[in-house]
Amino acid sequence: MKDGKIEDNWADIAIERINKFVPNAGQCSACGTKGTVTLNGDLVTPMIMEPNGNVGIGGQSYPQVMLHCNRCGYVRYFNYVLLTAEEPELNLDADGE
């Protein structure tokens, strides 16, 4: 990561891992159009809501990559840390078994 952007080699790893575990990752889950899903080059993170309703600034957070459909705008997020980490010793198939 550099300046909040995904470096090309890490973007390739993230795309490879998404394609490995997410069936039809290049097809939009909302509108069904094939070939319109794009990996946004920015790292993003969700806002954390504290129990009292305030927005939590700072603290533990994991950056995410965002896939978006160029046709309908549907967005999906994946944990960037897990996508680019070394392969775990316990290998689960796509069904999580």
Does a structural domain hold residue 93?
no
Does a structural domain hold residue 26?
yes
Does a structural domain hold residue 94?
no
Count up the domains in the chain and report the number.
1
Question: For residue range 50-93, what is the model confidence (pLDDT) as tens digits?
Answer: 888 888 777 677 788 899 999 999 999 998 888 887 765 545 56
pLDDT of residue 88: 53
Does a structural domain hold residue 95?
no
Question: For residue range 15-58, what is the model confidence (pLDDT) as tens digits?
Answer: 888 888 888 888 999 999 998 888 887 888 887 778 888 887 77
pLDDT of residue 55: 81
H or E stretch including 79?
Answer: strand 75-79
Range of the domain at 26: 8-84
Does a structural domain hold residue 89?
no
Does a structural domain hold residue 70?
yes
Does a structural domain hold residue 45?
yes
pLDDT of residue 91: 53
> Contact 71/33 with Cβ under 8 angstroms?
yes
Does a structural domain hold residue 25?
yes
